[in-house]
């Protein structure tokens, strides 16, 4: 299993509500104001046990970096492998959901919230 860590420096969304730009264009916006909102959304969905093949930890990287780094990591992976991406940036939730919805070669197979970190499990199809 590979593990990469990125230190966030592009954390400049100064908004009290995070909405994915892609979601707005498709009129399927996900609006979140706090980690409590995200935790409620994630806890309402089933979470299968998944074992990742690769892990990337982004910390507070924002401004689309969770999507960009996930895309790059998935590009290096084989079909059927699972990427675990950890982010503490609030806006990663709508961004990752829009990325998965608009990308037919990626499936979101699970997500968890622990403390201030959201973990996404992305499967390359």
Per-residue pLDDT tens over the stretch 34-53: 878 888 888 887 777 889 99
* DSSP secondary structure letter of residue 120: E
Rounded distance between C-alpha atoms, residue 94 and residue 108, angstroms: 13
**Which pTM value belongs to this model?**
0.77
Per-residue pLDDT tens over the stretch 1-46: 555 544 443 334 444 455 544 444 444 566 777 878 888 888 887 7
CB–CB of 74/121 below 8 Å?
no
Q: Looking at the predicted structure, is the pLDDT value of residue 123 above 50?
A: yes
- The pLDDT, as a whole number, for residue 25 is 44
Determine if residue 55 is left, alpha or beta; phi over 0 gives left, psi from -120 to 50 gives alpha, anything else beta: beta
- The pLDDT, as a whole number, for residue 103 is 92
List the chain domain ranges: 2-124
Q: Give the lowest-confidence range in 12-16, 71-75, 121-125.
A: 12-16
Mean pLDDT, the chain, integer: 79
CATH class for the domain made up of 2-124 = alpha beta
């Amino acid at each position: 299993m590979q593990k990469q860590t990125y230190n966030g420096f592009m954390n400049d969304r100064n908004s009290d509500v995070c909405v994915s730009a892609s979601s707005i264009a498709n009129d399927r916006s996900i609006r979140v104001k706090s980690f409590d909102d995200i935790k409620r959304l994630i806890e309402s969905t089933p979470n299968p046990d998944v074992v990742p093949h690769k892990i990337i930890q982004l910390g507070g990287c924002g401004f689309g970096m969770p999507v960009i780094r996930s895309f790059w990591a998935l590009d290096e992976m084989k079909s059927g492998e699972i990427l675990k991406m950890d982010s503490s940036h609030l806006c990663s939730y709508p961004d990752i959901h829009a990325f998965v919805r608009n990308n037919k070669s990626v499936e979101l197979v699970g997500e968890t919230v622990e403390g201030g970190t959201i973990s996404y499990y992305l499967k390359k199809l």
